[in-house]
Amino acid sequence: MKKIVYLILAAATLTTGCDDLFEPAIENNKALEDGRDDPVYAEGILANAYTRNPYNSQSFNDVATDDAVTNQTDNTYLLMATGSWTSNNNPMNQWDGCKAAIQYINMFLSEVDQTTFADDELINQLFRNRLKGEAYGLRAMNMFYLLQAHAGWTADGQLLGVPIINEMEDVSSNFNMPRNTFDECIKAIYDDVDAALEILPLDYEDIASDAEMPQYYRELGADYTQFNRVFGAMFRTRMSGRIALAFRAKAALLAASPAFTEGSEYDWEDAANENGELLRLIGGVAGLSPTGNTWYKNGSEIDALGAGENPQEMLWRNGKNTNNYDLEVAQFPPSLLGGGQINPTQNLVDAFPMANGYPIDDPHSGYNDQDPYTGRDPRLALYIVTNGSAVGTSGSIIDTSVDNTTNNDGLNRENGVSTRTGYYLRKHLREDVVLNASGSHNGQAHYSPRIRYTEIFLNYAEAANEAWGPQGSGSFGFSAYDVIKAIRQRAGVGTDNGDAYLESIKGDQGKMRELIRNERRLELCFEGFRFWDIRRWGLPMNEPAMGMRISGGTYTPFEVETRTYQDYMQYGPVPYSEMLKFNALEQNQGW
């Protein structure tokens, strides 16, 4: 045995040298300052902020609301909604990811002005400017997501946000920092967006002449070819001036909302102006995409999208996956070989009006509760599979009744596969995907939105109605009424009667508020908005999730799942682990 050990040591000596046996070998780890001469490494630091965007993928947190349940018993949002939400078990937590992103952003900003991106000094400055602008925009984005998830009122009556950290933290930093006020955090977003707008173009597009170049860069002495090299179309997916404006607009709406407005100096007019400015850039209501409500299934449009290109509906989107079928495997009804995982609720189905525009509980609607899917808002059939829906390339008829003994599409036929509510998800899915029992599926191109213009239109409608009334338009020339009318016309609602319901309420701010909120619920369903909207509006979180039981042709609503939220959960918690580590932090009341 000794001889074997000696041989190993001798071989190690020959290959590494004697010192390395007793001293740690030199490691190939880069220091922060190495990025000064390695622009790829420097950009990689900033890329860490991009990878932490919460909207890089679809979470389906609607399961935590009255819009959906799931047949997956271990789903974290299901567990959250039914009693297991705590400050150390929080599926909505953004503290760790967003604060890590901000640290990487601050690291990058501390070094970028010493980093060489090009030998030409002017080009080098342009690259520095663009990347700094991206960093400021990304920091504003992360602050928005932190506030949405963690801002709240403390037991002593303070409306707090999160600690504002705008410098890189190192071993000598004071990590025990108190939370800044909510308004200070909103102002930090505004300031970062202002900084981004000074040096970013509105969009990354190639220009054809010096005359098209922003004044700032003309004054620096750049020509349009140099501008295109740094700010051209090849960078379309990066944080732009338009995207930064969108996050300021989203933050303004959050600050004006009922859950925060009492402790904030920001109001509905601020929110209307911020969102209105974005819409002014696309021509106001005329800029609403006629196919924006079917963005996920516009096959030829999706297939034709080049790298970084946006269809009219998209302000910012995720990348396109080609030949993909993951969503369909998870969500198609079981007869089409899917898992049927997300089940829309009767609550959401009831929120869709009739095609004539009247809510189903209005005596003018013509709704028949024993023929509930006939004559409905066309968006119901676009977004939800109901009993009798034709789905897939073969037009298979889906039978969700308890009488269905042919396959597992029926209500509660098989745990973990069948619907629990009598409904299956249709939104997000491409029905030209074909799943095969052999596993050799035929996929299609997919992408998911980060920010849709429909969201911005609805933001504006909500804020404008509160600031100026249903038909007030501020300086923009279009009102909340105009926006909602255009969205409903696009959906095919009220087209046969001039949208008589909308006309009947256009002078009533309260009823218009209800309609705007409902239109937002429908248009943005299953895109991760409902949970945050319920909370910022101060609506009840414990509405039981309802379903529809169909037996012998009779339709009977029933309760599927009870929600067990507490009142204090209107605001999310600071993570328990952070409270243990840092006594300067104050927790939101109740957690």
Q: Are residues 310 and 345 in the same domain?
A: no
For range 32-45, the mean pLDDT: 82
Has residue 88 been placed in a domain? yes
pLDDT score, position 57: 81
pLDDT score, position 35: 64
Are 457 and 326 a contacting pair, CB within 8 Å? Answer: no
Kindly tell me if the per-residue pLDDT of 15 is higher than 90.
no
Q: Which of 381, 387, 349 is nearest to 367 (CA)?
A: 349
pLDDT tens figures, 480-514? 999 999 999 999 999 999 999 999 999 999 999 99
Q: Are residues 281 and 430 in the same domain?
A: no
Are 311 and 301 a contacting pair, CB within 8 Å? Answer: yes
Kindly tell me if the per-residue pLDDT of 228 is higher than 80.
yes
3-state secondary structure 209-248: CHHHCCHHHHHCCCCHHHHHHHHCHHHCCCCCHHHHHHHH
d(CA 357, CA 380): 13
Of the candidates 482, 508, 531, which is a domain's last residue?
531
Has residue 372 been placed in a domain? yes
pLDDT score, position 58: 83
Distance between first and last Cα of the chain? 61
Q: Are residues 337 and 387 in the same domain?
A: yes
DSSP designation for 319: P
Has residue 369 been placed in a domain? yes
Q: Are residues 326 and 294 in the same domain?
A: no
For range 12-26, the mean pLDDT: 42
pLDDT score, position 474: 97
Has residue 13 been placed in a domain? no
**Residue 23 binned pLDDT confidence (cut-offs 50, 70, 90):** low
Domain region containing 503: 267-317+451-531
pLDDT score, position 29: 67
pLDDT score, position 28: 58
Has residue 183 been placed in a domain? no
For range 72-81, the mean pLDDT: 97
For range 447-465, the mean pLDDT: 98
Q: Are residues 420 and 333 in the same domain?
A: yes
**Residue 42 binned pLDDT confidence (cut-offs 50, 70, 90):** confident
For range 325-335, the mean pLDDT: 98
Q: Are residues 438 and 458 in the same domain?
A: no
Per the structure, the count of domains in the chain is 2
Q: Are residues 441 and 586 in the same domain?
A: yes
Q: Are residues 429 and 575 in the same domain?
A: yes
pLDDT score, position 9: 31
Query: Beta 314-317 vs 396-397: how paired, if at all?
Result: unpaired
For range 111-118, the mean pLDDT: 95
Q: Are residues 406 and 271 in the same domain?
A: no
d(CA 408, CA 399): 9
Of the candidates 531, 550, 569, which is a domain's last residue?
531
Kindly tell me if the per-residue pLDDT of 10 is higher than 90.
no
Kindly tell me if the per-residue pLDDT of 18 is higher than 50.
no
Q: Are residues 433 and 511 in the same domain?
A: no
**Residue 229 binned pLDDT confidence (cut-offs 50, 70, 90):** very high
pLDDT score, position 14: 34
Which residues, other chains included, contact 237 with Cβ-Cβ below 8 Å and sequence gap of 6+? 307, 308, 319
Q: Which of 455, 469, 425, 569 is nearest to 521 (CA)?
A: 455
- List the helix and strand counts (H, then E) for the chain: 22, 14
Of the candidates 479, 504, 531, which is a domain's last residue?
531
Kindly tell me if the per-residue pLDDT of 25 is higher than 50.
no
Has residue 240 been placed in a domain? no
For range 262-270, the mean pLDDT: 95
Has residue 463 been placed in a domain? yes
Has residue 386 been placed in a domain? yes
pLDDT tens figures, 511-535? 999 999 999 999 999 999 999 999 9
For range 542-558, the mean pLDDT: 98
Q: Are residues 432 and 545 in the same domain?
A: yes
pLDDT score, position 11: 35
Q: Are residues 545 and 523 in the same domain?
A: no
